Structure 1
């Protein structure tokens, strides 16, 4: 058993350092899918966070609490809901998105949204009150004032986006249920690891696992740096 694990580790690093095309095709597809998801989630999360961070209105506390509650949303539950919506007989079946990379990106973007909204809202609320009031009173438009405050909260916003990326990149449930783990199309790092373990391909699983952990770890180092600064 020990020798099998050692052999698997050696073969795994051979796959990594030989730039095995099968391994790196999965890596780049995973980065593309999660990168697109992060871009989409950021696009709609920042305006929501700006409103929550800068405006006072009825129901604000409930909305913030709801986003915080969904930080720990089980990915399999989200995957199930999206599957029911996107399947051929579902309300959005005509879009034919099920088992496509775009479907996974949409699912990951939804998963990232509570993180980006909650963290960015906190970052905006931590901006000095004088700066926030100054941005509002210097004749700025709403967009200009929001941009100025986001600039002041840039570190927190970046932290939110990176945390969102990590959440989507390392998840399994959504990618499996609405991606289908289709070879050459929707197979990502997490789904490929699960598949190869079932096939008892230890070396390939370890290679993918090492790359997955390395990317998440690198992003976490950036997060820690931003927290300190």
Structure 2
């Protein structure tokens, strides 16, 4: 309990003093995870909508693969991304290893199955005859798809929250592909692990509290939008 109180005091001191390193780590965490969530939304929402609205051989297998990917271990993602962008790897010439770009790639891979899986379930959960009714009113297939996405916007917002939560809190892949370099690739989760390993529990708790506050703030905004759009 004493350690936790020290962590609270330390968090308050770090925030009120506008500590440059803490601000840098927090802003990088927001930037990296925000971009990863955006990319996963573009890929996952688009791909999930296509899968949900299309019948093709192997669809159940593909959906099973996506659902399995929703629980993909971050360290496994980190391993394969590291191999891919290693200096002797297929994409080694891009020199992405130990850069923020590498973390964004890894986190995008982690978040995409989450967003895609929820998107598929959300679109498929709509009434079966809704698609036919929209087409019967003269809408094109593109217009129909847009209307279905709008109809499923509440669970799709949950997909955004789940995707963001999955990447802002992950640590394994970020350390493996980012290297936890001070002032360059260090984010809140990797900084917390480092401070814990050094025995600086007050700083680690402070960083954890900042991370939790950040997650709560983002999810509160998204939840407010979601609940405001809820049908009465």
Q: Is the 8 A contact 2:11 2:210 kept in 1?
A: no
Match of 2:186 in 1: 187
**Structure 1 pair 3/43, CA: closer, same or farther in 2 (3 Å)?**
closer
* CA distances 1:41-85 after superposition (whole Å, capped 9, x unpaired): 111111211112111111111111111111111111110111011
Partner SS state of residue 183, structure 2: coil
Greater CA drift, 101-110 or 193-202: 193-202
Match of 1:173 in 2: 172
Unaligned runs of 5+ in 2: none
CA RMSD of aligned residues (A): 2.1
Partner SS state of residue 159, structure 2: helix
CA distance in 1, matches of 2:34, 2:52: 25
**Structure 1 pair 88/170, CA: closer, same or farther in 2 (3 Å)?**
same
2:92 pairs with 1:88: no
CA distance in 1, matches of 2:70, 2:197: 30
2:207 pairs with 1:208: yes
Match of 1:47 in 2: 46
CA distance in 2, matches of 1:74, 1:138: 45
| Structure 1 residue 124: Cα displacement | 0.7
CA distance in 2, matches of 1:224, 1:32: 20
* CA distances 1:173-194 after superposition (whole Å, capped 9, x unpaired): 1100001101111100000001
| Structure 1 residue 224: Cα displacement | 6.7
Match of 1:160 in 2: 159
Greater CA drift, 53-62 or 163-172: 53-62
* CA distances 1:124-162 after superposition (whole Å, capped 9, x unpaired): 112222322223343333322211110000111111011
CA distance in 2, matches of 1:193, 1:51: 39
CA distance in 2, matches of 1:166, 1:8: 23
TM-score, normalized by length of structure 1?
A: 0.91
CA distance in 2, matches of 1:208, 1:54: 43
Mapping for residues 65-80 of structure 1, pairs under 5 Å: 65-80=64-79
Mapping for residues 25-64 of structure 1, pairs under 5 Å: 25-64=24-63
| Structure 1 residue 3: Cα displacement | 5.0
Mapping for residues 92-103 of structure 1, pairs under 5 Å: 92-103=91-102
CA distance in 1, matches of 2:48, 2:191: 34
